[in-house]
Amino acid sequence: MSHGDHAIVTGAFSYTGGYIAKRLLECGARVTTLTRHPDVRDAFGGLVASASLQFTDKRALTQAMRGARVFFNTYWIRFERGETTFEGAVENSKMLFEAAIDA
């Protein structure tokens, strides 16, 4: 990544995504996170922008990713629970990749 490049990271306010975001910021990249938890405290002091991660709105995901040079996907589920299934997680990931391509 070059200084000033824009990167999208899912879950930058959590563990794996946070380490990716930290390294990107150290390289001078602009970072936007896609998050399902917008109320989580930003450990980067406002240096990471955030956008809503809503799998029901591909248009909004595409818009949030527009202009980014790279996309880091850390979205996954550990266990199936209720309506949250592994198959659904795969479909959600596909939507993220499609939105990135469209952006």
The predicted model gives 71-91 an average pLDDT of 96
Residue 19 has pLDDT above 90, yes or no: yes
Structure tokens that stand for 43 in this block = 């450990």
**Angle, alpha carbons 55-56-62 (nearest 5°):** 65
Instruction: Sketch out the chain's domains with CATH numbers.
Output: 6-102 (3.40.50.720)
Please give the C-alpha separations between residue 88 and each of 8, 54, 77, 101, in angstroms, as whole numbers.
22, 13, 10, 20
Q: Is it the case that residue 38 has pLDDT exceeding 80? A: no
pTM over 0.75: yes
Q: Which residues pair with 9 in a beta bridge?
A: 33, 72
Q: What pLDDT does 73 receive?
A: 97
* pLDDT of 43 higher than 90: no
20-46 per-residue burial string, b: 16 or more CB within 10 A, e: under 16: bbbebbeeebbbbbbbeeeeeeeebee
What confidence tier does 90 reach under pLDDT thresholds 50, 70, 90? very high
